[in-house]
Amino acid sequence: MDDQPEGRPAAPDPVAPADVPASGTTVALACVRALLRVGSRAEAAQVLHRAIGDLGGEVRTAAAGEVPALDVSLGIGELSVAVAVDGSARVAARLRGWLPILMEDAETAALRCDRQQSQEVRARTDALTGLSDRREGDERLAAARAGDVVCLLDLDGFKALNDSRGHAAGDRALRRFGDVLRDHVRGLDFVGRYGGDEFLVIFTVAPVHVAMRRMWDISAAWAADDPEHAVSVGIALVDDSGPQAAATAADRALYRSKRAGGGKVSLAGPGDRP
C-alpha cells in the first residue's frame, strides 16, 4: 500500500502490475507539482488524465445515458470516466483509492485558473459596454494580418446627447450600441470600445464588401434603436502596409463619413493611407 498524504484517508493500492511501475504516492505528488504550474482548466484536465495513465488507467468518454460517479473531464468536452486498462482488478483498485484525491487537487487547480482568467477578462473589458477595452483593441490591431478588415465607428451627435440629456443618457446609448455590435459580429471577429463614443471592429480575413454590408446592417439596426442618432463608419483593408496604416486609413474614412453629414459608411481609398 502506498504512503498517504497526512490528513487524507488511506487509499487501497495493491502491488502494482509490471505495466504500472509508479506508486500511487509518486503519481499523486507528481500530479500536485504539475497542477501548480497549469494556466487553464484544460491544462488541469491534461495533468489529471496523465496521472490516470500513470496509475495504469485510461480515460474514455462516458456511454450514452451513463452518469459517472466521478467525471474526469473537469468540464472540458464530454463526460469522461477513468477505467482500468484491460480490466485489471489491481489497477481498478488503485484508481478507486487515488482518483478522488487526484480529482480534488485537479478541480482546485482548475477553479484557481478559472478565477485568474476571469480577473484577466475583467481587466481587459470596458466596464460600461462589456466589450473589449482600448488596450485589448490595440493588441488585436497590432496582431491583424493582411486580409483582415479594420472598421472604426463613431456615434453621431453623442456630445450633444450628453449635453442635452445628461451623461446617464449617453451611457445608456453606449451600452445599447455595444449590444447592437455584439449581435452583428461573428465570434471570431473582434469588437471593442476604442474610447469615448468610438468603437473598433476587426473582421478576420473577410472580403471588404462583406464588411461593408455588415457595417450597413449595424447602421440600420442602430437607426431602428435610436432614430435620432446615426453612426458613422470608416473601413480599411489590412494590406502589406500593415495594420497601423489600415487603422489610419479607416480613421480618415470615418471622418469623411462625419463630414458628409454622418450616418455614412466610407471605404478608405489609396489617398487615405499614410
Active site residues: 197
Residue pair 152/141 in contact (Cβ under 8 Å)? The answer is no
Alpha helix stretches (DSSP H) within 127-270: 134-142, 158-165, 167-184, 208-225, 243-259
3-class DSSP state of 61: strand
The three three-digit cell numbers of residue 189, written as one number? 471577429
* Distance in angstroms (rounded) separating the CA atoms of residues 57 and 36: 23
Alpha helix stretches (DSSP H) within the chain: 24-35, 41-54, 89-123, 134-142, 158-165, 167-184, 208-225, 243-259
DSSP 86: G
Look at residues 2, 247, 15, 262 and name the one whose alpha carbon lies nearest to residue 134.
247
Residues 200, 206, 212, 215: is their CA dihedral positive or negative?
Answer: negative
Residue pair 196/137 in contact (Cβ under 8 Å)? The answer is no
